[in-house]
Structure 1
C-alpha cells in the first residue's frame, strides 16, 4: 500500500486527540480504518508520525511480488528471467533481472542446467519399478565396520575464544593406544537384518572368506526370504580392502551356468 503523507498522518493524530473514533476518522479522511489504527498505534508507541529512518534502501520487490514470482517458477520451472520481468511489470513492480534472480535465491530457487533423462511412459515406469522391487528382494548387502571403544574418529567443531584451545571444555579426550576397538560384520536385505558377527584379530582375505562361508548362506534364508541353503541372486559389498581380493569372490551368489 502507498505510504500516506506526513500531513495526512498528522491530521489523523489530531482527530484522534480530539476524541474521534477510528471509523469516523476513516470516513472523514477517506483512509482505510486498518491504516488509521496502524498510524495511531505507531504514534502511541514511537511518538512522531513521520517516517523513521530505515536500514538501507527499501526492497524493489514486495513480499507479495516475491511470492508471485515463486508461484510462477513453481508452475513452470522453464520460465526465463525475461518472462518473469514481464510478469513483474504487469503487477506494477518493474524490476531488473538481477533483482528477480536475487529474490528467487532467497526463496531457495536457483537457475541450473536441466538434466537429460530418457522419455518414459507410465507403462515403462511401472515395469521398471516392478523389476527393481523384484530384484531388490534377491540381493544381500553386507559390510564391516570398526568401532572404537573410547572416543570418536570424527572431527568435532567447538566454539571457543582465542587462547582456550587446550581447555578441558574445548578438547576431545583421548587415551594411549586408542582405547581398543572391535570389528563387526553384518548383512541385510529387503526382508530384514542378518546376524551380527564379531571379527577376532586382524581381518585379512582368508578370514573374510571364512566369515562369508560361515554366515552368508545362514543369513540368506531368513533375510532374503529364500529357502534355507538357496543362493541369493546377488551380493553387494563395498569392494574395499579385503573385500576386493580375488579369494573373497562371494561363494553364496548363484553363478550362471556356462
Structure 2
C-alpha cells in the first residue's frame, strides 16, 4: 500500500483557504480531501512556514502506520507464524512487502525470532496445583528450604550433549577433525543417575542399572538417603522432596517412607522449574562433557567426580533464591517460569 503525496498546488490552496478563515471541515468538504490530510498540511505550514516537501531521512515507508500496527499485533498473537505466513497476511490487507522488510519492521518493534523454549505441558489442574504450592509456601522462612533434601533422576548421554560449541577456525576448515564435535547414532549410550542435594552441598549420586521400578527406587533410598543426610549434617526432621513419578508415588514407596518416618514435601506435578536440582544437572553435564568421556565407564566416573566437586556455595545460592521461584510462579499465575 503506497502513500500518495498531495500535490503542492493543492497544499497551497488549503493554506489559502485556511488564511481566509475557513475551518478544517469546510476545506475538506470543498476540496474533497480527507480532514486529517488538511489538518496535517496546515500544522506543517504553521510550524515550518512552507508547503514545500521537506528533506526526509530516507525512502518513504510502503506501509501505513495502521497496517504496521496490524502486523505487530498479528505477530504478537501468533508468535509461531513464519515470515511467509505474515507476508500472506499483509497481502490479504492489500500491502505487498518483502519478507526482509517485514522482519525489519518487527525488529524495530522489539519482536525477534528466537528458538522456543521447551516446557512441560500444563493442564489447568497442574496450573492450579502449582499456584497453590507457591502461595502456600511463599512466606516460609529460609530455614524451611535449608532443611529440604532435593532429589531427582536424570539421563546423561555419552555424546548427546547438544549445546552449541564455538571454535576458532579459518575459512574452508569447517570440516577439519579438530574443528568438529564427534557424534554417534543414538548418543553412543547413556546412563541414568539418581542424586540429591541440600543447601549444605551435594549428597549421593547413584547410577541406576536397568529400568528403575518402585523396589529398585526404595533400595536406592535405603542405601543413600540417610547417608546423604548425615554427610550434609542435616536435622533429623528433614523434609524429602521428589516429584510425582509413578515409582515415587506408588503404594509400596509411600508405605516405605511412612515406615521410615520420612516427611515428604507435597509436590505439584509438571514442575521441574520448582526443583533447583535441575540447575545442578545442567552444571554436571557441562562439566562432564568438557572432559570428553570415551565410554560409559568414563562417563560414570566423571559424573561422580564432578558431582562431588560442585561448590557448597552454588548449592546454598540455589536454595537462598528459592522464594524467587515461588514469586515467579505466582506472577505467571501458575504457568511455566524462566527457571
TM-score, structure 2 as length reference: 0.41
Give the secondary structure class of the aligned counterpart of 1:114: coil
Offset, 1:85: 0.5
The answer for the alignment partner of 2:106 in structure 1 is 104
Equivalent residue number for residue 55 of structure 2: 53
Corresponding residue SS for 2:10: helix
> Is the Cα–Cα contact under 8 Å of residues 232 and 252 in structure 1 kept in the other structure?
yes
For 2:8 and 2:88, the matched residues in 1 are separated by 34
Matches within 5 A, 1:81-120: 81-120=83-122
Cα contact 2:147–2:198 (8 A) shared by 1:
no
Matches for 1:147-158 after TM superposition, within 5 Å: none
Contact 1:12 1:25 in 2 (8 A): yes
Aligned-pair CA distance for 1:29: 0.8
CA 1:118–1:17 in structure 2 vs 1: closer, same or farther (change >3 Å)? closer
Q: Which runs of 5+ in 1 are unaligned?
A: 138-188, 194-219, 226-230, 241-245
How far apart are 1:127 and its partner, in Å? 4.7
Larger radius of gyration: 1
- Does the Cα contact within 8 Å between 2:200 and 2:232 map onto a contact in 1? no
- C-alpha change, 1:253 and 1:233, in structure 2 (3 Å) is farther
> Aligned to 1:58, what secondary structure does the other structure show?
coil
Check conservation: 2:28, 2:34, Cα contact below 8 A: yes
Residues 44, 116 of structure 1: CA spacing in aligned structure 2 closer, same or farther, 3 A cutoff? closer
Cα contact 1:85–1:97 (8 A) shared by 2: yes
TM-score for both structures, normalised by structure 1: 0.52
Residue deviations 1:59-109 (CA, integer Å, cap 9, x gap): 333332222112112222211111110111222321111111111122222
d(CA) in 1 for partners of 2:236 and 2:92? Answer: 65
Q: Which has the higher contact order (CA 8 A, sep 6+)?
A: 2
Consecutive unaligned residues of structure 2, counting only runs of 5 or more, are 150-196, 203-228, 239-256, 262-339
Q: What does residue range 113-132 of structure 1 map to in structure 2 within 5 Å?
A: 113-127=115-129
Residue 129 of structure 1 and its aligned partner are, at CA, apart by 5.7
Q: Report the CA distance shift for 1:84/1:238 in structure 2 as closer, same or farther (over 3 A).
A: farther
Contact 1:88 1:94 in 2 (8 A): yes
Tell me how far 1:125 sits from its aligned partner: 4.2
Once structures 1 and 2 are overlaid, which stretch shifts more, 44-53 or 56-65? 56-65
CA distance 1:191–1:57, shift in 2 (3 Å): same
Aligned residues: 166
Is 1:25 aligned to 2:8, yes or no? no
Question: 1:85–1:95: 8 Å Cα contact kept in structure 2?
Answer: yes
CA separation in 1, counterparts of 2:200 and 2:62?
Answer: 53
Q: Residue 87 of structure 2 contacts residue 99 of structure 2 at CA under 8 Å; is this kept in 1?
A: yes
Partner of 1:228: none
Q: Which has the higher helix share?
A: 2
Is the Cα contact below 8 Å between 2:11 and 2:51 reproduced in 1? yes
Distance 1:24 1:190 in 2: 66
Corresponding residue for residue 10 of structure 1: 12
For 1:191, which of 140, 160, 163 is the aligned residue?
140
Alpha-carbon separation, structure 1, partners of 2:18 and 2:127: 68
Instruction: Check 1:253–1:53 CA distance in 2 against 1; reply closer, same or farther (3 A cut).
Output: farther
How far residue 254 of structure 1 moved from its aligned partner, in angstroms, is 4.3
